[in-house]
Amino acid sequence: MRSGSRSPLNDAALAVSGLNHAWGGKPALRDVSFTLAPGRFCALLGPNGAGKSTLMAVLTGLIRPAPGVVLVAGQDMGCAPRRALAGMGVVFQQPTYDLDRSVAANLHYFAALQGLTRAEADRRIAEALARLGMAERAGEKVGALNGGHRRRMEIARALLHRPRLLLLDEPTVGLDAPARAAITAHVHDLTAEGIAVLWATHLVDELRDSDDLVLLHRGQVAAAGQVGAVRGAQPLQDWFLAQTGAAA
Amino acid sequence: MTALRAATAILTREVARFLTQRERFFAALVRPLVWLFVFAAGFRAALGLSIIPPYKTYITYETYIAPGLCGMILLFAGMQSSLSLVNDRESGTMRLMLTAPWPRWFLLGAKLVAGAAVALLQVAAFLAIAAAYGIRFSPAGYLAAIPALVLAGLMLGALGLFLSSRVRQLENFAGVMNFVIFPMFFLSSALYPLWKMQESSPLLAMICRANPFTHAVELVRFALYGQVNLPALGWTVLAGGLFFALAVWGYEPARTRPARGEG
């Protein structure tokens, strides 16, 4: 088994090799391969319909990959999905909180789902809320928070069990420009703590030149590398449009 | 231990959400109470009941349908819990649960137990109102009814869980409710004893006997009189196990499939 031996794939926070998937015979992902190093911010860039959501579904185990295709910190999602899932935090595109329950209750629910003890959960939740400047809002219902705060809460929640990999599926959808910029900066900062981030988006202004990039187009990896290197002298937006044509 | 924590969290969330949604609690209670106070009063004259086990004396029609109405609450609750699952899946909270690092059968089982707990709260409230109305059972009967109600609730919840795995959208669920709840309820011993049905139509009586809901109701009915109806117990457990197995199968993650002609 590949997960048993040390190799560059095992050292990666996330390694995908030769991933294929079809919906009813129609290919959605074709031979997708890339790796994400620890502490790196990697944008999964692609126009709508490029296969980002399907790829996210496979990476989070909602569609189970074949053995050896998806490794999360060396754990094979195809053979040992629970161990692979334990090492990742996920922020889904759709909201996944209970609006009618408090911020603390939502966070506690997730912490317990991950198996954290009450005391440990209390400590980490207090820490996370303090870091977000939301300590005094713990008792408020999530429905009372604005979109940006809800997203921040979801990101904090996805990190409660201290995963080394954070997956975010178009996390800024529906947010206004300042909230979008704040969330993007916040998640970039997380990489300083060694967390690897895979950020699915179709918005190029969320990327920095120092970020990694995997361009998904029509289910295939059309380009990969550091943003600054792949775009060359072109503005990223122009490069993106040139790569994906009218679809962007 | 950590698994238990996860299961408890699922249970707590379900109960807390139920308690905050007062209108849901109210609706769940009004339905059987209308049947008890209105339907049963009107129907009492039309239906003569003979003495059949577990009854040892003539009983009022209200007394006869009380266990059936408990079953009705469990049936609606089971379907409602699965309705919330379809809703959870559309909103993404289901994804959150399914990406927790536990086996899927365990997470679904926790969800099932949570749903049954909520259903039990509703039945308890109903039985309390029924008692105030004069339909009382012995303390031993109430006590014996608890495990029976739990089993019946789990079986009907498992059915709902299975249905929710097959239904992709909320709109489609309304149809399932009509095609599942009403036939199950009316083709059972909840409102009329099976011998009455036999007189009208042997075929319908046969369908009633095959209906797991009939067995759930009979299990509760006998338990309320401190008796165990073994065949009803067996069928309820069997049906519950089967529905749960189907639900786990229904929630199995899809697997990646290459397009035809590709690696």
Mapping DSSP onto H, E and C, the string for chain A reads CHHHCCCHHHHCCEEEEEEEEEECCEEEEEEEEEEECCCCEEEEECCCCCCHHHHHHHHCCCEECCCCCEEECCEECCCCHHHHHHCEEEECCCCCCCCCCEHHHHHHHHHHHCCCCHHHHHHHHHHHHHHCCCHHHCCCEHHHCCHHHHHHHHHHHHCCCCCCEEEEECCCCCCCHHHHHHHHHHHHHHHHHCCEEEEEECCHHHCCCCCEEEEEECCEEEEEEEHHHHHCCCCHHHHHHHHHHHHC
Q: Which domain holds residue A66?
A: 2-87+165-247
Say what the pLDDT of residue B263 is. Answer: 42
Boundary of a domain, candidates A113, A129, A162: A162
Nearest to A115 among B5, B95, B99 (CB): B5
A92 with B92: Cβ contact below 8 A: yes
Mean pLDDT of chain B: 88
Are A108 and A10 members of one domain?
A: no
Mean per-residue pLDDT, B233-262: 88
Are A158 and A171 members of one domain?
A: no
What pLDDT, in 10s, does the model give residues B154-201? 999 999 999 888 876 666 667 777 788 889 999 999 998 988 889 889
Are A6 and A24 members of one domain?
A: yes
Across B79-83, B87-91, B97-101, which has the greatest mean pLDDT?
B97-101
Is residue A38 domain-resident? yes
* C-alpha span between A40 and A34 (Å, rounded): 13
Are A212 and A106 members of one domain?
A: no
Nearest to B6 among A69, A95, A115 (CB): A115
Are A172 and A154 members of one domain?
A: no
Say what the pLDDT of residue B253 is. Answer: 84
Say what the pLDDT of residue A4 is. Answer: 45
Task: For residue A112, give how far its alpha carbon lies from the nearest alpha carbon of chain B (Å).
Answer: 5
A86 with B101: Cβ contact below 8 A: yes
Q: Is the ipTM of this complex over 0.95?
A: no
Mean per-residue pLDDT, B116-138: 95
Considering only CB atoms, which chain A residues are within 8 Å of B12? 109
This prediction's pTM: 0.85
Are A24 and A45 members of one domain?
A: yes
Is residue A231 domain-resident? yes
Are A21 and A119 members of one domain?
A: no
pLDDT-derived band at B21, boundaries 50, 70, 90: confident
Considering only CB atoms, which chain B residues are within 8 Å of A105? 13, 16
- Mean pLDDT, consecutive 10-residue stretches, chain A (248 aa), reads 53 94 88 96 93 92 92 94 93 89 94 93 93 89 93 93 94 91 94 95 93 95 95 93 73
Is residue A112 domain-resident? yes
Q: Which of B116, B180, B105, B118 is nearest to B150 (CA)?
A: B116
Are A233 and A192 members of one domain?
A: yes
Boundary of a domain, candidates A162, A180, A209: A162
Are A16 and A136 members of one domain?
A: no
Say what the pLDDT of residue B236 is. Answer: 98
Say what the pLDDT of residue A1 is. Answer: 39
Boundary of a domain, candidates A144, A162, A180: A162
Say what the pLDDT of residue B89 is. Answer: 73
Nearest to A96 among B92, B102, B262 (CB): B92
Are A65 and A157 members of one domain?
A: no
Report whether pLDDT(B84) > 90.
no
Considering only CB atoms, which chain A residues are within 8 Å of B17? 98, 100-101
How many independent structural domains does chain A possess? 2
Mean per-residue pLDDT, B23-48: 83
Are A61 and A16 members of one domain?
A: yes
Is residue A92 domain-resident? no
Is residue A93 domain-resident? no
Are A62 and A133 members of one domain?
A: no
Domain CATH code at residue A242:
3.40.50.300
